[in-house]
């Protein structure tokens, strides 16, 4: 970028900087954002297809989860990256509806392009989109249905809708039961649900039907010593955040040993100190120990002799969940152990799952943390099943906390589209055009559902619209019958929050991309002057400098 002044060019930006302005900048951004939306569009809905993603290492991911697809794609364009951010936000907030959010944002930009061609100013379109999004959230709340957290039938339907279209439909009923039970077990008295208290462990082997819920915890570890018991009934569980090993001094001390006897005495004293620590643990009455830190060989020997099952180097998050599951307290000092700190479980056992040992802590009285063991024939099946279960857990927890649902199958989008068109005519002026464009964009959801099911999108859209104009607010697309139907009766329901989050984040991203009229890209930084020393950087083996 340079300005000519009296024949002398003045450089303002560094050489090599590129700049796109006005219509060209907008067209580039719109094209990139729409390309991202079209990449995931075919995965939407129960009849959506899957994508196979191969990364630079050759690892394969097979999924139809919008956010997973976008995270795995190596996206370079800044406007396209903004679309990925929508999906990430949607996933973090509500766990589902990532594809819908991106598809709506893409359609909003496509409709904005049409308005720009009619010389409507971007600021007016942005204003109209903002008004429409605000109004849409109020309207959605108006026709949402209230659900109580004890309504297990409705919660199961919510989980079922989230799982539909994934590769796990064969075991859908069983999985929905597991998901709803897990959520209700870990729910706090105030109705809040933190799904980090549901530990999902993946194990390749068996089939999807073997996926199971353990009312307690499952830890991917084995016993610290083979002489320890494999099964402990009515276990008293100690959760220890201290090492069961000889403490070496932090001070740089020197020990002078002049006779062979002194060396043996020193070693005996070390062993004695460990023995004292183990005795304190045994005295507490604990029969099972989960230790976050190490347990040395001497301690393992004495614990095995005392008939105590010990597991070492357990993750902090697992120990915290064990405390919730067993009712125990995490103890930070061996001297501070009391009987009150011990947790309880009806059964602690080491089991072999797919050739690997795992520790099962089950038959807990009131487990506030549970585990789901995910099984499947191949690694790709297990990974996709884990993603599907995460989505379903998120949406059920969102409903338990938010207590509101809407019908699925494109019903809320069609109803919003209808109501927003009426609202647009009241607003009048140029803003009316933008609100109508927003209303039309929402219909991309039922249209895409129809396309992905191999149906005639126009016929379906007209049919659903007619039903809504007749006051049937919960009518959407029944993809199996290939015609409009009452989604609420069919049990196709989604959390209100999934829809509100998708619409508000799609509108925000579309407005942000719409308002950009100048893209100034700095040149890639040049290599340091003088080049690299031969043989790569200092301290690197020869040849490494090439990477």
Catalytic residues: 65, 98-99, 391
Q: Ramachandran region of residue 409, left (φ > 0), alpha (ψ -120 to 50) or beta? A: left
Q: How far is CA 291 from the centre of its chain?
A: 29
- φ, ψ for residue 375 (rounded to 5)? -120, 155
Instruction: For residues 392 and 397, give the distance between their C-alpha atoms in angstroms, rounded to a whole number.
Output: 9
Nearest partner of 385 among 196, 214, 210, judged by Cα: 210
CA pair distance 91, 286, nearest whole angstrom: 42
Give the CA angle between residues 209, 171, 46 to the nearest 5°.
150
CA distance 79 to 30: 8
CA 286 to CA 303: how far, in whole Å?
A: 11
SS (H, E, C) 491-529: CCEEEHHHHHHHHHHHHHHHHHHHCCCEEEECCCCCCCC
DSSP structure string for 203-272: EEBS-GGG-EEESSEEES---SSTTS-SEEEEEEEEEE-S-BSPPPPSS-------SHHHHHHHHHHHHH
CA distance 475 to 358: 48
How far is 441 from 420, CA to CA, in rounded Å?
A: 11
């Amino acid at each position: 970028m340079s300005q000519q002044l009296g024949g002398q060019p003045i450089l303002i930006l560094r050489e090599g900087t590129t700049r796109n302005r006005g219509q060209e900048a907008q067209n580039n951004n719109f094209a990139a954002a729409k390309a991202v939306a079209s990449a995931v569009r075919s995965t939407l809905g129960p009849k959506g297809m899957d994508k196979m993603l191969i990364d630079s290492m050759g690892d394969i991911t097979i999924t139809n989860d919008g956010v997973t697809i976008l995270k795995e794609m190596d996206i370079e364009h800044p406007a396209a990256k903004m679309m990925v951010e929508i999906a990430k936000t949607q996933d973090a907030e509500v766990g589902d509806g990532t594809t819908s959010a991106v598809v709506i944002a893409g359609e909003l930009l496509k409709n904005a392009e049409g308005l720009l061609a009619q010389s409507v100013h971007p600021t007016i379109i942005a204003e109209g989109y903002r008004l429409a999004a605000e109004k849409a959230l109020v309207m959605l709340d108006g026709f949402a249905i209230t659900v109580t957290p004890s309504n297990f039938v409705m919660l199961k339907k919510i989980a079922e809708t989230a799982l539909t279209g994934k590769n796990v439909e064969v075991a859908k009923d069983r999985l929905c039961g597991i998901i709803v039970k897990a959520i209700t077990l870990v729910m706090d008295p105030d109705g809040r649900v933190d799904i980090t208290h549901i530990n999902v462990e993946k194990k390749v082997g068996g089939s999807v039907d073997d996926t199971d819920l353990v009312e307690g915890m499952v830890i991917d570890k084995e016993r610290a010593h083979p002489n320890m018991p494999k099964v402990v009934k009515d276990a008293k569980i100690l959760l220890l955040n201290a090492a069961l090993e000889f403490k070496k001094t932090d001070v740089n001390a020197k020990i002078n040993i002049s006779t062979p006897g002194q060396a043996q005495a020193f070693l005996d004293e070390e062993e004695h100190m460990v023995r004292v620590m183990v005795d304190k643990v045994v005295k507490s009455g604990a029969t099972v120990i989960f230790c976050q830190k190490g347990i040395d060989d001497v301690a393992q020997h004495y614990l095995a002799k005392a008939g105590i099952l010990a597991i070492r180097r357990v993750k902090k998050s697992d120990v915290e969940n064990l405390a919730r599951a067993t009712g125990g307290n995490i103890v930070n000092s061996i001297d501070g152990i009391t009987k009150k700190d011990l947790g309880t479980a009806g059964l602690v056992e080491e089991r072999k799952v797919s050739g690997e040992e795992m520790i099962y802590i089950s038959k807990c009285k009131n487990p506030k943390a549970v585990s789901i063991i995910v099984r499947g024939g191949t690694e790709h099946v297990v990974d996709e099943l884990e993603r599907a279960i995460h989505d379903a857990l998120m949406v059920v927890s969102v409903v338990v906390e938010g207590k509101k649902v809407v019908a699925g199958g494109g019903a809320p989008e069609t109803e919003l589209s209808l109501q927003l068109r009426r609202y647009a005519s009241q607003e009048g002026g140029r803003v009316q055009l933008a609100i109508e464009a927003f209303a039309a964009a929402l219909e991309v959801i039922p249209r895409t559902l129809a396309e992905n099911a191999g149906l005639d999108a126009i016929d379906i859209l007209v049919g659903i619209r007619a039903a809504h104009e007749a006051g049937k607010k919960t009518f959407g697309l029944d993809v199996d019958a290939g015609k409009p139907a009452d989604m609420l009766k069919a049990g196709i329901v989604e959390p209100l929050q999934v829809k509100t989050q998708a619409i508000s984040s799609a509108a925000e991203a579309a407005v942000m991309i719409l308002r950009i009229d100048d893209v100034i890209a700095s040149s890639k930084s040049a290599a340091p002057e003088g080049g690299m020393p031969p043989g790569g950087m200092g301290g690197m083996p020869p040849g490494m400098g090439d990477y």
